[in-house]
Structure 1
Amino acid sequence: MTGPDPADTGGVQALDPQELGAYFALMESVSLLHHHVEQHLRTEGNLSYVQFQLLARLAGSDGQLTMTQLADGVVYSRSGLTYQAGLLEKAGLITRGPSSDDERATLVTITDNGRALVDRVLPGHVQDVRRLLFDPLSDDDLQHLGDIMTRVRDHMRAQPPRSAAPRKRRPSPNS
């Protein structure tokens, strides 16, 4: 008796060798880059990649965003994002409070310590990204990669994972 046919994908056309090769190359490259970046952030700043993303987004946006704005840019569960923000707040890197513009919104502000930490880890982060991702590419390669990944990202964002989808309002019981 033989095992299941690996080409049988439940009626869905299997990936051809070129697609499979591109998929595996992409996933391995992303994993390797993520590993190096995460290792640098942990060593130099005691930060996870998600925490770095939150701090870097805040630092790049005049220092304040709502939790919803942060969630829109980071693909992470809402509860996980709240937890990570809590860790950053406990460490004195951000503050959270009610927004003066919208009482339902939570405003997140990077502190001076948070900004100093981003300034400290950013040069090594940029160096790793440049060395690992951009150095082997020509200018044309970089242009094509940017175009391709933007198109893929936009396609995926059109059908975001539940954690990245806008919240649906539940009807009130009186409706």
Structure 2
Amino acid sequence: MPQFFLNKRLIILLVSIIVLVALIGFSLRERSKLSWPEQFLKDTTGWVQSLVSKPTHFVTGFFENLQDLQNTYDENKELKSRVEKIVNLEAQVQELKQDNQELRDILGEKRTLRDFKPLPATVIGRNPDRWHEMIIIDKGKLNGIKKNMAVVTATGLVGKVKNVTQFSSTIQLLSAMDPKNRIS
């Protein structure tokens, strides 16, 4: 016999590879029922996996809970500082309200800007020659606009109504360099 068949280890390795390839081919076929070695192998592997995965999930869950606890602690710290700021702001607001009321009492003013109903309007015209002096808005007498009314935006007072027609009004801006500008 040739030298090749005398080496027992090589023969065992060759037979093992052939059996392995046969088992792989057998297991790749589509079947409705698993064989008893496959069932045994799957059950054993599943049992070992659950034996390893349950403690692993417990440990990782424990560390995730610790991380969540740390995050909650940090968020709580941040929220406490925000609450302090809000308390300080509320105290300032109360102080400013009191000062404002005292100033109104001194001046004898009863009405505030909140007593007036704002009327939103859109700028529909602007003269290039008087760009910084006048604008035209789309509200007029029919909307309740009157001469010398104040014109206010979200940023504050911008001018007063100079002329009023039925459907539009001309606004004299505060930024006008007109010496006759009597907005004060």
Q: TM-score range by the shorter chain?
A: under 0.3
TM-score, structure 1 length as denominator? 0.26
Tell me which structure has the larger Cα radius of gyration.
Answer: 2
- Between the two structures, name the one with larger relative contact order (CA 8 Å, sep ≥ 6): 1
Instruction: Identify, as 1 or 2, the structure richer in strand.
Output: 2
